[in-house]
């Protein structure tokens, strides 16, 4: 696992670990917390359709009724994470990537990752390991 990053995430938090060698320890290099991902559906909705900030893409747009507010928040966080990974990929900060996330969030990460990022992914694990220690994650890998 030379110059491999390990993204461990769920819909409200994530950590990126760096591993420089197959036997070397994992070291946290970035910690993300997404507080909206922890809110309950009722805390995220109002009587009318909402809108997102439109900071990415073609500006503001109304959220559809097909996607729950909780799902929309998970999508926003997945986009934030994949955008960060793309920026770091452009800097050649890592050569390989391992993604560990619960199945639904793993799907969102896949969907929002560029082809370049997905080509760097050497392993995908559908588990929620966000609260596991670096040592426990290392043992699992």
Per-residue pLDDT band at 1 (split at 50, 70, 90): very low
- What pTM does this model have? 0.76
What pLDDT digit, counting tens, does each position of 40-65 carry? 455 545 544 444 454 455 554 445 55
| 30 exposure class (CB count in 10 Å sphere: 0-12, 13-18, 19+) | middle
Listed in order, strand segments (DSSP E) in 4-120 are 4-9, 13-19, 27-33, 96-100
Q: Nearest CA to 6 among 109, 111, 75?
A: 109
Read off the pLDDT of residues 60-98 as tens digits, 9 standing for 90 and up.
444 555 666 668 888 999 999 999 999 999 999 999 999
Work out the pLDDT band at 39, boundaries 50, 70, 90.
very low
């Amino acid at each position: 696992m030379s110059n491999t990053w390990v993204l461990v995430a769920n819909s409200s938090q994530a950590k990126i670990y760096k591993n420089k060698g197959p036997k070397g320890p994992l070291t946290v290099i970035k910690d993300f917390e997404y507080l909206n991902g922890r809110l309950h559906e009722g805390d995220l909705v109002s009587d009318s359709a909402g809108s997102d900030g439109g900071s990415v893409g073609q500006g503001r747009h109304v959220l559809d009724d097909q996607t729950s507010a909780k799902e929309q928040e998970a999508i926003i966080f997945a986009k934030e994470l994949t955008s960060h990974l793309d920026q770091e990929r452009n800097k050649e900060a890592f050569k390989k990537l391992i993604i560990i996330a619960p199945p639904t969030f793993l799907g969102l990460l896949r969907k929002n990752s560029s082809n370049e990022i997905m080509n760097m992914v050497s392993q995908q694990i559908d588990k929620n390991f966000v609260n596991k220690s670096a040592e426990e994650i290392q043992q699992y890998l």
